[in-house]
Structure 1
């Protein structure tokens, strides 16, 4: 994926990759009618860096300058995917001037550039109104309500009953209710998502043999085909086959083999000494805790299937369902054995950020998103190279080799890659499923 012109109508980069020049679309306006100038964009980016530590994980800059509609970003090193990084929602362009004039973005909603404006927001529901100053076409709806329905069954029922007009990511158990029904429009796309089980190396799972046993002990092919009814592709590597980063050539070092899993357990001293069906060592059964959440229906299905497969090789797994915000915190602290989640791998069009965030070495807290304890200097070198070289072939090969390190080191269980879906009532036109999953309520979504 590559960034496309929109708020920035065009851009260019210097030969050394350190100076980016963007031309801001001369037609663009904020929802309060104020013109979007390069100075306004500069202030918005500076606000993001001031408020979010995550911003510098995408890039760091030496200077940002504005002249009319021309914005220049000077970086400390080459960032080949900087336009893609700026497309991440973290860098959404807001009118900082309105904040200086007293608007509270948290309470009143931000002043942005999209077709709708936020009129109210809670954890349960967002309410939007048409942007009267929208600069890029007509806005089809006067008002849009966006309820947050985490439970997949409830989401499907709400769509069936007419309580909602459209839903995203209907689960495999309910998908057939809508797929061949003329009352609904169904769109699908290959996903950039990776459903994975992170393994914390702070406890028993610091043992590579044990991690390998956990990977070999589950039937990922069966999960995709039977449990998830072919709505998933079986997992193998960090990046899905929808991205051109060597999926076929990467070697899966631990395909499904329960006998191998048992051998690996025994090699590390885990055997069933008392005949209770569970492996033990020093008088203690091997018992692990798996955390996940419910807003994506496949995650609990995966968790339960893993629990059943692990029992077959003598491992007790307890499942704990928590709120997604807790998942994020657990990922940072490493206070888990297994952490099952669904992650977008190339939200900026480039997977380097994803690889660095989840597996880049966390030395003295400099990469807080990796609380797993996994560190590998060669992996760090390869991802640094991929994120800085202007040679696409070198970057691609570095990413492929970095992935193989994760497989060789048994760093994570890569469970599968979903197809994403968006299902709406047949009277809705312009439903479009984006692999990035960011653009849902657009000017093109209309009622006929």
Structure 2
């Protein structure tokens, strides 16, 4: 009996000690990391077959050479950045298979040369839960047409009218043949302004907080399918490629978008995951046709013939010499043949009146100066600029180079001779948008101040032509005219390298940097 009582007392003491220990654990303050660790340990004890496996919810950290500086959907190129960051969507989008799809439009038809009607789905929602119907689309798209001149490139000023919640009427200033491509243009994003002047969008992620041009912190959009399977995302800007490589090597970022050729090789050699894609972008120069030097077509032709583009491709360790204004995988890419002819380039400069004197050409007592400007956001461009400067010096140019942050501001100012630029020239899978942007006389991106009745006629025909083969022919004709008149200097059709952690080994980028953060990022 005594032994029995003793055992009861001993058991009670052990239980009490266990309870005290548990209380002590529960009363101990825990950091977020410790809480997460505790929750993870508890989940390990659960049966694996009780529920489907969930995605890793640890934050995904992406390093880029740029981060969006604002969230105003009507501000110039901001819509591109918001879509790239996974926050916004255009009305239609280009999927990874090159097909145009829409979460907002069910069907559309052309009524007359300047009028279309579209039926909306009314199933997608803004991040605050409001339905995106015809009225919501008309409201945001009309604001964009009024405030962002880039949206007027393809069809002039376009007006949207909601006839009811499901019917949208679209009237264009110039004739348009491909409404879905037009509504894929990066300016045409879906948004809603709230009474407090903030904005809500429809992409797979919402902005938690951000520091302009430095970092964006994103959370899954609760009103986008699959939100529970997505992790939070942080996007960090690195201006220095070496710093981004160090961060990737240290495991501080899950993706480095993009890395320079040298960094890509080092990472590959060390066994890291590096994906190489055809960028869809084009690298090209923009001549200032109002510049004292570059207004002379012979000087522009001398630059065109005097440079060796193969050296750019070799230094970038990938890509191809450009054949026009579009990536070569498009059926409407140009057929321009570019080659170097140094002797002919020198002869053209002689004919233009520039005489070689002490390794620099001179005319009327003035040296043949060329000011080349580019930007670090596209790390390949300074590499091209450095090589180009050496090539032009051999022709007798006195070359000045400059790297700036706001390259578009330089373009608009007109204070340049030659800008080295990068642009995804067919984000809609169709040539009209960029051809109109850069080569129609009155458009915002026409930094060269190029004016050509022949080009405007080609672009007008492109807007009216319905036959695909003839549209391709017109696009090629426009690119050939650019090669002749030289408002733009075709350079490189590039490839890009993206480093990813093992966690993101299945991630497949596409369409350049337009959909870096997308609904498949997990």
TM-score (norm 1): 0.88
Say whether 1:247 aligns with 2:315.
no
2:235 corresponds, among 128, 142, 146, to 146
Distance 1:53-1:302 versus aligned 2 partners, 3 A rule: same
Specify which of 350, 353, 365 is matched with residue 269 of structure 1.
353
1:188 matched residue in structure 2: 276
- CA distance in structure 2 between the partners assigned to 1:368 and 1:93 by the alignment: 22
2:499 paired with 1:402: no
- The secondary structure found in structure 1 opposite 2:138 is helix
Aligned to 1:217: 306
CA radius of gyration, larger in: 2
Residue 27 of structure 1 is aligned with which of 86, 101, 123? 123
Distance of 1:263 and 1:66 partners within structure 2: 64
Question: 1:142 deviation in Å?
Answer: 4.3
Change over 3 Å in CA distance of 1:68–1:293 after alignment to 2: same
1 CA distance for matches of 2:331 and 2:302? 29
Give the alignment partner of residue 370 of structure 1, picking from 434, 446, 456: 446
Give 1:161's aligned residue. Answer: 250
Q: Does 1:348 align with 2:428?
A: yes
What corresponds to 1:132 in structure 2? 222
Do residues 64 (structure 1) and 161 (structure 2) align? yes
- Residue 268 of structure 1 and its aligned partner are, at CA, apart by 0.9
The CA deviation at 1:347 is 2.0
Q: Aligned residue for 1:330?
A: 410
Equivalence for 2:315 = 227
1:44 match: 140
Structure 2 residue corresponding to 1:438, chosen from 510, 514, 521: 514
Residues 273-292 of structure 1 aligned to structure 2 (within 5 Å): 274=357, 276-292=358-374
Secondary structure in structure 2 of the residue aligned to 1:132 = coil
What is the CA–CA distance in structure 2 between the aligned matches of 1:429 and 1:35, rounded to whole Å?
A: 35
- Shift in Å, 1:292: 0.6
Deviation at 1:3, TM superposition (A): 5.3
* Structure 2 equivalent of residue 95 of structure 1: 192
CA distance in 2, matches of 1:413, 1:233: 15
Alpha-carbon separation, structure 2, partners of 1:92 and 1:28:
14
Note closer, same or farther for the CA distance 1:140–1:423 as it changes in structure 2 (3 Å cut): farther
Change (3 A) 1:3 1:69: farther
Using the TM superposition, give the Cα deviation of residue 9 of structure 1 relative to its aligned residue in structure 2, in angstroms. Answer: 4.7
Query: Per-residue CA shift, 1:125-181, capped at 9, x if unaligned?
Result: 1111122222x2244344211112233332222222222111212111111133365
**CA-CA distance at 1:41 after TM superposition:** 1.4
Task: Give yes or no for the alignment of 1:5 onto 2:93.
Answer: no
- 1:75 aligned partner: 172
Q: Indicate how the Cα distance of structure 1 residues 77 and 237 shifts in structure 2: closer, same or farther if over 3 A, else same.
A: closer
The residue aligned with 2:73 is none
Question: Are 1:316 and 2:398 an aligned pair?
Answer: yes
**Residues 171-205 of structure 1 deviation map (CA, whole Å, 9 limit, x = unaligned):** 11111133365542x33332221111111122211
Aligned residue for 1:342, secondary structure, equals strand
Q: CA deviation at 1:234?
A: 1.1
Offset at residue 372 of structure 1 (A):
1.7
Q: Which residue of 2 aligns with 1:421?
A: 497
Give the C-alpha shift of residue 27 in structure 1.
Answer: 2.8
Which one of the candidate residues 460, 467, 471 is aligned to 1:384?
460
Partner in structure 2 of residue 204 of structure 1? 293
The question of whether the paired residues in 2 share the 8 Å contact of 1:182 and 1:426 is answered with no
* Corresponding residue pairs, total: 423
Q: Partner residue of 2:342? A: 258
Taking a change above 3 Å as real, the CA distance of residues 93 and 246 of structure 1, as seen in their structure-2 partners, is: closer
- What is the alpha-carbon distance in structure 2 between the residues aligned to residue 5 and residue 372 of structure 1? 34
- CA RMSD, aligned part only? 2.1
- Quote the Cα distance in structure 1 between the aligned partners of 2:349 and 2:262: 34
* Structure 1 residues 373-406: Cα deviation after superposition (integer angstroms, max 9, x where no partner): 3221101110121123222222211111111111
- How high is the TM-score relative to the length of structure 2? 0.76
The 1:433/1:205 distance shift into structure 2, 3 A limit, reads same
**Equivalents in 2 of 1:56, 1:120: separation in Å?**
31
Task: Give the unaligned 5+ runs of structure 1.
Answer: none
Q: 2:112 & 2:174 partners in 1: Cα distance?
A: 8
Is this contact kept in 1: 2:302–2:345, CA < 8 A? Answer: yes
The CA deviation at 1:251 is 4.5
Q: Is the 8 A contact 1:251 1:404 kept in 2?
A: no
Task: Measure the CA separation in 2 of the matches of 1:138 and 1:430.
Answer: 19
Q: Distance in 1 between matches of 2:340 and 2:515?
A: 37
Separation in 2, partners of 1:220, 1:41? 45
1:423 aligned counterpart, secondary structure = strand
C-alpha displacement of 1:77: 4.2
* Separation in structure 1 between the aligned mates of residue 191 and residue 376 of structure 2, nearest angstrom: 32
Secondary structure, in 3 states, of the residue corresponding to 2:517? coil
The 1-side partners of 2:497 and 2:184 are apart by 22
What is the SS of the residue equivalent to 1:14?
strand
Structure 2 CA distance for aligned equivalents of residues 66 and 171 of structure 1 = 51
- The answer to which of 197-206 and 48-57 deviates more is 48-57
Matches of 1:197 and 1:233, distance apart in 2: 16
Q: Which moved more, 1:66-75 or 1:205-214?
A: 66-75
* Range with greater deviation from structure 2 (120-129 or 423-432): 423-432
Q: Which residue of 2 aligns with 1:237?
A: 324
1:406-436 CA distance string (max 9 Å, x none): 1112332211011133321011254121125
